[in-house]
Amino acid sequence: MTHPEIIACEECDLLQRGAPLTPGSSLRCHRCHAELRRGRTNGPEYALAFALAAIVLLVISNVYPIVGLSVNGNLIQTTLAGSVRVLYVDGAWPLALLVGLTTILMPVLQTVSMLWLLLPLQLGRVPWQPAAGFQLFRLARPWGMTEVLILGLLVALVKLAHIAKVVPGTALWSFIVLMLLLAAASAAFDPHEVWGRITTGRNAGRALQLAPIRFRRAARTASAYGLVLCEGCGLLLRPPARSGPRDCPRCGSPLHMRKPASLSRTWAYLLSAIVLYVPANVLPVMDTSSLFGAQKDTIMSGVVYLWVSGSWLLAVLVFVASIMVPMLKILGLAYLAISTQLHSQWFPEQRTRIYRVIELVGRWSMLDIYVITMLVALVQFQALATIKAGPASIAFGAVVVLTLMASMSFDPRLIWDAAEKDHARVK
């Protein structure tokens, strides 16, 4: 007799039985409504096709010019790597490193990791070191920000159009298609299904199955049953004895009931972001030199410029992404950390939704960084006009990174632990 799959929710730790899924349907947690599984048809095959197309476009996007300016018959063009180099030469090497990682290296690693895992499976073989391939995918996926780069380029083009004639390059169109392909590949790539095919290929699926569980009325979470969900591969299992190794038998990741020092690390990143948020918004983010003198622009003055020039929609987008989102992320994470530290039982489902929103919108704060990158790279007319990154750009980039790391460090299951203890007392 085949037992139904036992699933532990990654966001609230609720233990529940799985159910058969049809293509296009999804299975959600009964308590916090997080998506547990999604029904797909040939998901790995589609992901492989998208990844193969993406690797071709990655080459085109990073070799050909992304945009150019035509001034008095002279065409000034730049590639994405050339923009990073200009930042580095101007002394803004932390900003150059951040842009290079999020727009060049991480999308490449994300695509390579999918090919690493999916191509051998398509050929009927087990991938070499699949655990390393999944770790690479988990590392690269949150930091690849191609879609934010596209919006940043749009804002930069609007600003550049007031200086000279803008000439879109081949890489601009390539990046737009690449953005769609990476999104489609990530949506089709289901780690749970891929791990299932790998373990089947190794004939190891039965050895890693969880023994049937007899559900008890007073216990609802995986931790209440002494079970742990591997953060590396999503395998639900009983951890070994304290004296033995506490690593996942499938992917080798360390096993923890909750993220180690979750609140401490969240507060450390969050407080650092709060300190840097002030100079990021007060100091100049760009220094412009021209025949008419020097000008220093803050993030807010850039928003005002877009509004006055008639680009109201872009002004609102920049204001939301560069000013409102970082502030709301800091406030939201502080609220989650404080309420969790006080073992609050108030509105756990609403607090979990706040966490999801923070995870969803966090990357869009990078918008202004990409705008600055394009302006610095293209507006280099020597005696006529030059733009350099100001000190606030580095502080702002640090705020974005620190808030992203704070949200990654926070364990949403801690929100539900207080409510679970109260439920156990009532029972």
Please give the residue that has the higher pLDDT: either 157 or 210: 157
Is residue 319 one of the residues assigned to a domain? yes
* Judgement on whether residues 229 and 289 belong to the same structural domain of the protein: no
Phi/psi at 144 (5° precision): -80, 120
* pLDDT attached to residue 207: 44
Residues 316 and 419 in one domain: yes
Beta-ladder partners of 385 = 290
Assess whether pLDDT exceeds 80 at residue 161: no
The region of weakest confidence among 85-99, 228-242, 361-375 is 228-242
On the question of pLDDT at 164 being above 90, the answer is: no
Q: What is the mean pLDDT of the chain?
A: 83
* Gap between the Cα atoms of 238 and 208, Å rounded: 10
What secondary structure letter does DSSP report for 79? -
Domains in the chain, number: 2
How far is the C-alpha of 425 from the C-alpha of 427, rounded, in Å? 5
Whether 222 and 322 map to the same domain: the answer is no
User: Distance of CA 119 to CAs 112, 196, 197, 296, 337, Å?
Assistant: 10, 15, 12, 51, 42
Phi/psi at 286 (5° precision) = -140, 140
Instruction: Please state, in angstroms and as integers, the Cα–Cα distance from residue 329 to each residue in 135, 336, 424, following that order.
Output: 26, 10, 33
> Considering the domain boundaries, does residue 267 fall inside one?
yes
Contacts of 271 (CB under 8 A, 6+ apart): none
Tell whether the model's pLDDT for residue 422 goes beyond 70: no
Instruction: Write down the residue that tokens 């590396």 correspond to.
Output: 232
Confidence of residue 206 (pLDDT cuts 50, 70, 90): very low
Confidence of residue 356 (pLDDT cuts 50, 70, 90): very high
- Answer yes or no: are the C-beta atoms of 335 and 353 closer than 8 Å: no
Q: What is the tens place of the pLDDT at every residue in 250-265?
A: 887 888 888 889 999 9
State the CATH number of the domain containing residue 289: 1.20.140
Q: How many CB atoms lie within 10 A of CB 281?
A: 19
* Average pLDDT rounded to a whole number, residues 294-316: 78
In a domain, 90, yes or no: no
Mean pLDDT of 281-295: 70
Query: Does the pLDDT value for residue 290 go beyond 70?
Result: no
pTM: predicted TM-score of the whole model, two decimal places: 0.86
pLDDT above 90 coverage of the chain, percent: 29
Asked if residue 332 and residue 214 are part of one domain, the reply reads no
More confident residue, 131 or 212: 131
Read off the pLDDT band of 217 (50, 70, 90): low
The verdict on 332 and 216 lying in the same domain is no
**Structure tokens given for 390:** 């100001």
Torsion on CA atoms 336, 337, 340, 346, rounded to nearest 10? -30
Which of 403, 397, 156, 402 is closest to 279 using CA atoms? Answer: 397
The reply to whether 114 falls in a domain is no
Distance CA(372)–CA(153), nearest Å, equals: 10
221 & 310 share domain = no
Both structure tokens of 356: 């999801």
Q: Alpha helix locations (H) across 24-105?
A: 43-63, 80-89, 93-100
Six token digits for residue 266: 């969240």
Q: With respect to residue 318, please indicate whether it lies within any of the assigned structural domains.
A: yes
Residues 402 and 269 reside in one and the same domain: yes
- In terms of domains, do 301 and 391 share one? yes
Distance between CA atoms of residues 113 and 133, nearest Å? 5
Say how many C-beta atoms besides its own lie within 10 A of residue 136's C-beta. 18
Q: Is residue 322 part of a domain?
A: yes
- The distance of Cα 278 from the centroid of its chain, to the nearest Å, equals 24
358-377: per-residue pLDDT in tens? 988 888 888 888 888 887 87
Give residue 346's identity as a one-letter amino acid code: W
pLDDT at 1: 43
| CB contact at 8 A, 185 and 109 | no
Instruction: State the residue range of the domain holding 286.
Output: 259-427
266, 317: one domain: yes
Helix/strand/coil for 247: strand
Residue 393 has pLDDT above 80, yes or no: yes
Residue 87 lies in a domain: no
344 shares a domain with 220: no
Q: What angle do CA 427, 263, 330 make, to 5 degrees?
A: 115
C-beta separation of 66 from 175 below 8 A: yes
Written as one string, the DSSP assignment of 290-326 is: ETTEEEEE-HHHHHHHHHHTT-HHHHHHHHIIIIIHH
Considering the domain architecture, whether residues 410 and 266 belong to the same structural domain is answered as yes
pLDDT over 60 (residue 245): no
DSSP β-bridge partners for residue 78: 67
Q: Which residues contact 223 (CB under 8 A, 6 or more apart)?
A: 13, 257, 258
Query: Could you tell me which of 1, 6, 2, 426 has the C-alpha nearest to residue 234?
Result: 6
pLDDT grade, residue 383 (50/70/90)?
Answer: very low
Same domain, 355 and 263: yes
Task: Quickly count: other Cβ atoms within 10 Å of residue 26's Cβ.
Answer: 11
Alpha-carbon distances, residue 210 vs 21, 166, 207, 228 (angstroms): 20, 60, 9, 11
Question: What is the tens place of the pLDDT at every residue in 1-48?
Answer: 455 678 888 888 888 887 787 777 788 888 888 888 887 777 889 999
Residue 402 banded pLDDT, cuts 50, 70, 90: very high
Pairwise CA distance, residues 35 & 32, whole Å:
9
